[in-house]
Homo-oligomer: A and B are copies of this chain.
Amino acid sequence: MPLRIAIFDDNKNIRESIAMLLQTEKDFEVVGSFAHVLDCLEDVTQCSPDVILMDIEMPGMTGIEAVKIIKHELPDVLILMQTVFEDDDNVFDSICAGASGYILKNFLNTKLIDAIKELEFGGSPMSPSIARKVLTKMQQIPQHVSNMPAPDYKLTAREKEVLACVVNGLSYKMIGDQLFIGYETVRSHIKHIYEKLHVASLTEVVHKAMKEGIV
């Protein structure tokens, strides 16, 4: 079964030359080719590709927006971004939007086929310099969000529920309503949370819970 590929690029020449290039691989099948992303969801749903080649610079809607939309509905398609520039913002926005690879247009003809195969194989093709940028970015991210496991304060399931409510800014009364328990019960749980977290106010609870990723 061939790998189904869809192309989004506003330049007709590029679309056609990409399609031509991809057809040299007999495992690849170009199932769609679109000049804009305004109807990207329909387009993609219709041709159901395994891999999407998405241009970042697109008229009407940016390719990054399209990635978000498509990934939201179809989380399993792999999206390879193509662009002329590799400025930080576009790279990171694409990644956060859900792209799985990043290829520069200059190297399309020499590296596209390999990049797509890499994608298929579970890899993420990207230029070395982009990889560096990504790593550098990750290193700037606070520990707990990137990797540190949430410390275990031995909160019970119920206490965790209450904690989640507290973090979301609910008052005791609102928490009671939310969890179908009385005001005093909420208080009781929160007293226990205070003890276990070694804090003495709601603000500290929220701070600690968010900082350490308990919620």
A131 to chain B, nearest CB (A): 4
Q: Most B CB atoms within 10 A — which of A96, A131, A169, A205? A: A131
CB contact under 8 A between A124 and B118, given known A201-B169, A206-B207, A211-B210? no
Question: Of B129, B143, B168, which is within 8 A of A207 by CB?
Answer: B168
C-alpha spacing A211/B137, complex, angstroms:
18
Stretch from A87-95, A103-111, A179-187 forming part of the interface with B: A87-95
A134 is an interface residue with CB less than 8 A from chain B: yes
C-alpha spacing A191/B147, complex, angstroms:
37
Q: Which residues of A are at the interface with B, using a C-beta cutoff of 8 A?
A: 89, 92-93, 95-96, 98-100, 118, 121-129, 131-132, 134-135, 137-139, 141-143, 145-147, 166-171, 199, 201-207, 210-211
C-alpha spacing A134/B126, complex, angstroms:
12
Cβ B139 vs Cβ A95 within 8 A: yes
C-alpha spacing A95/B134, complex, angstroms:
10
Q: Most B CB atoms within 10 A — which of A89, A100, A138? A: A138
Cβ A128 vs Cβ B134 within 8 A: no
Cβ B134 vs Cβ A169 within 8 A: no
Complex contacts, A93 vs chain B, CB 8 Å: 147
Complex contacts, A89 vs chain B, CB 8 Å: 147
A151 to chain B, nearest CB (A): 16
A130 to chain B, nearest CB (A): 8
Cβ A96 vs Cβ B210 within 8 A: no
